[in-house]
Amino acid sequence: MTQALRYAVVFERSEDGYGAFVPNLPGCVTVGDTLEETEQNIREAITGHIQAMLAHGETVPPPTTLAKYVELPVAAGQ
Protein backbone atom coordinates (compact mmCIF):
# COMPACT_ATOMS: atom_id res chain seq x y z
CA MET A 1 0.00 0.00 0.00
CA THR A 2 1.36 3.41 -0.95
CA GLN A 3 1.10 6.26 1.53
CA ALA A 4 0.49 9.75 0.17
CA LEU A 5 2.61 12.50 1.68
CA ARG A 6 1.77 16.17 1.22
CA TYR A 7 4.79 18.45 1.69
CA ALA A 8 4.72 22.24 1.65
CA VAL A 9 6.87 23.64 -1.15
CA VAL A 10 8.13 27.22 -1.31
CA PHE A 11 8.46 28.69 -4.80
CA GLU A 12 10.57 31.81 -5.31
CA ARG A 13 10.76 33.89 -8.45
CA SER A 14 14.22 34.97 -9.60
CA GLU A 15 15.55 37.10 -12.44
CA ASP A 16 15.82 34.11 -14.75
CA GLY A 17 13.14 31.67 -13.55
CA TYR A 18 12.03 30.03 -10.34
CA GLY A 19 13.49 28.12 -7.44
CA ALA A 20 11.73 25.78 -5.06
CA PHE A 21 12.54 24.06 -1.77
CA VAL A 22 10.84 21.79 0.74
CA PRO A 23 11.23 23.00 4.36
CA ASN A 24 10.67 19.50 5.80
CA LEU A 25 13.30 17.94 3.51
CA PRO A 26 16.52 19.93 3.99
CA GLY A 27 18.56 19.96 0.80
CA CYS A 28 15.59 19.17 -1.43
CA VAL A 29 15.76 22.06 -3.90
CA THR A 30 15.36 22.69 -7.61
CA VAL A 31 15.09 25.42 -10.23
CA GLY A 32 13.25 25.89 -13.51
CA ASP A 33 12.60 28.40 -16.24
CA THR A 34 8.84 28.48 -15.59
CA LEU A 35 6.66 27.86 -12.57
CA GLU A 36 5.24 24.75 -14.25
CA GLU A 37 8.71 23.35 -14.96
CA THR A 38 9.81 24.10 -11.41
CA GLU A 39 6.77 22.31 -10.00
CA GLN A 40 7.52 19.22 -12.09
CA ASN A 41 11.18 19.39 -11.05
CA ILE A 42 10.37 19.63 -7.33
CA ARG A 43 8.03 16.64 -7.58
CA GLU A 44 10.92 14.64 -9.06
CA ALA A 45 13.32 16.07 -6.46
CA ILE A 46 11.03 15.05 -3.57
CA THR A 47 10.68 11.53 -4.95
CA GLY A 48 14.44 11.17 -5.41
CA HIS A 49 15.19 12.71 -2.02
CA ILE A 50 12.87 10.30 -0.22
CA GLN A 51 14.19 7.29 -2.17
CA ALA A 52 17.77 8.25 -1.25
CA MET A 53 16.86 8.66 2.41
CA LEU A 54 15.22 5.24 2.48
CA ALA A 55 18.17 3.64 0.66
CA HIS A 56 20.49 5.01 3.36
CA GLY A 57 18.26 3.75 6.18
CA GLU A 58 17.20 7.25 7.18
CA THR A 59 13.79 8.10 8.56
CA VAL A 60 11.71 10.22 6.21
CA PRO A 61 10.43 13.25 8.14
CA PRO A 62 6.68 13.67 8.12
CA PRO A 63 5.25 16.76 6.45
CA THR A 64 4.69 19.24 9.26
CA THR A 65 5.21 22.65 7.62
CA LEU A 66 2.08 24.64 6.82
CA ALA A 67 2.06 27.59 4.45
CA LYS A 68 -0.40 30.46 4.54
CA TYR A 69 -0.39 33.96 3.14
CA VAL A 70 -0.73 36.79 5.62
CA GLU A 71 -2.07 40.01 4.13
CA LEU A 72 -1.29 43.33 5.81
CA PRO A 73 -2.35 46.81 4.80
CA VAL A 74 0.54 49.09 3.89
CA ALA A 75 0.04 52.82 3.68
CA ALA A 76 1.04 54.50 0.41
CA GLY A 77 4.55 55.90 0.49
CA GLN A 78 5.97 53.31 2.87
pLDDT of 14 > 90? The answer is: yes
Q: Which residue in 9, 2, 3, 16 sits closest to 44, CA to CA?
A: 9
- pLDDT value for 1: 64
In this structure, what CATH number is given to the domain that contains residue 52?
Answer: 3.30.160.250
How open is the CA angle 39-2-11, to the nearest 5 degrees? 15
User: Which residues is 42 bridged to in the sheet?
Assistant: none
Q: Taking all residues of the chain, what is their mean pLDDT, rounded to a whole number?
A: 94
Most confident of 2-11, 14-23, 69-78: 14-23
What is the residue range of 26's domain? 1-78
- pLDDT value for 10: 97
Q: How confident is the model at residue 25 (pLDDT cuts 50, 70, 90)?
A: very high
Domain count, the chain: 1
